[in-house]
Amino acid sequence: MKYMFIIFTFTVSLYSLSLNKQMIMDISRTYGYYQGQKYSLDTIKKKYPKLSNQVFIVKSGFDLSFSKSIKNIDTLMGKYDGWKSIKKDIIKNIHTKLDLSNLTYNESIDFINMVKQRAKGNIETPVLETLLMLNPSYEENPEREFYDGFKKKYISDNLKKSKGVEFSLDIPMSWISKEANRPNIVRKFISQNGHSIEMAMILVYDFPDGKYLSANDIKSTVNKKDMKEALPPNAILKDYGFIKLETLPGYWQRYSMTIQRVRKTMTIEMLAYTIFYGDKLIQIQFQIGDFDNKKLEKRFKKFEPLFDSIINSFVLTSLYKQ
């Protein structure tokens, strides 16, 4: 196939939305974090009445950002035996071990300012990620987390795996960044702090013929026949098109595949963006895998706007250093 070179890397995410040991630990820590903050603010309010208004303002600001998540912790964990006991122990330990008897006025001001920053997302890991992934508004509309400003910038910083290509990409804060085992995958990101089933991957390949390709060359390959032939045998091409990203020509593809896992068959929904930069091929893949096809299609449609927003944040820094 003339000018066509498509990279397919399948990293199946089998993460379950059900609670596991690490997730329970993260949730318990997050709940304790919130209760510790609440106890500290209440103590400041009682000890220094002049700071009552400031306490009210920062508490309201934090609750505006994260109160839904705290309520959702109770909803989620309340289904499991022992949560009420764990809650009591957390609060009891805070009141017993958090000694605020010598808290000064200036230290109180500093803590109030800290809470103000926490409301903007300046919170330690994994507390922030847990709060964001348990926000029901973000679960219903994943793109909203991105546009509420809870995003982080990944910078390739000329890493070895990026083969000298420097770029940046915005990722939701609740997604965890992980090293990938395969040499051409620069980085991968998994939703809900690594506990869920959505994944994004950035790949960079050497493609010597790329420097000779024009936009018209690439456009000539963006047709149903060529795109379908480039897919693995059992893949189903659903949609495709020509794109320009950072002024560079390329194409996007939407397709699905099925793979066998013991006695079960998993379907993977994929959305891939490919561009050519000199002698490099850059591809950004998004994927969701599940054993339930109906749930999978619905979930993919929910995340598709977020995938497009992430792509629109892509900046090829190398392009502006020429």
Work out the pLDDT band at 322, boundaries 50, 70, 90.
low
Q: Where are the domains of the chain?
A: 21-139, 142-320
pLDDT at 102 exceeding the cut of 50: yes
What CA–CA distance (Å, rounded) separates 322 from 320?
6
CA distance 185 to 267: 22
Core vs surface per residue 169-203: b (16+ CB within 10 A) or e: bbbbbbbbeeebeeebbbbbbbbbbbbbbbbbbbb
Distances (CA, A) of 124 to 33, 114, 193, 275: 10, 12, 13, 35
Query: How much is the average pLDDT of 23-41?
Result: 94
CATH number of the structural domain 142-320: 3.40.1000.10
pLDDT for res 2: 45
- Locate 270 and state its tokens: 């994929």
Which two three-digit tokens encode residue 73? Answer: 């912790």
Contact (Cβ atoms closer than 8 angstroms) between residue 186 and residue 167: no
- Token couple for 209: 């013929």
User: Which amino acid is it at 118?
Assistant: R
pLDDT of residue 109: 98
Amino acid sitting at position 313: S
**Listed residue (13, 11, 8, 9) closest to 192, CA to CA:** 13
Residue 192 in this model has a pLDDT that exceeds 60: yes
Average the pLDDT over each of 17-31, 113-127, 188-202 and give the range with the smallest value: 17-31
Strand partners, 255: 237, 270
Three-class secondary structure of residue 276 per DSSP: strand
Provide the pLDDT for residue 106: 97
Half-sphere exposure in the Cβ direction for 132 (13 Å, CA)? 34
Express each pLDDT in 129-162 by its tens digit: 999 999 999 999 999 999 999 999 999 976 788 9
pLDDT of residue 319: 87
Calculate helix-pair angle for 52-77, 105-118, nearest 10 degrees. 50
**Mean of pLDDT over the chain:** 89
- Ranked by mean pLDDT, the top range of 8-22, 152-166, 234-248 is 234-248
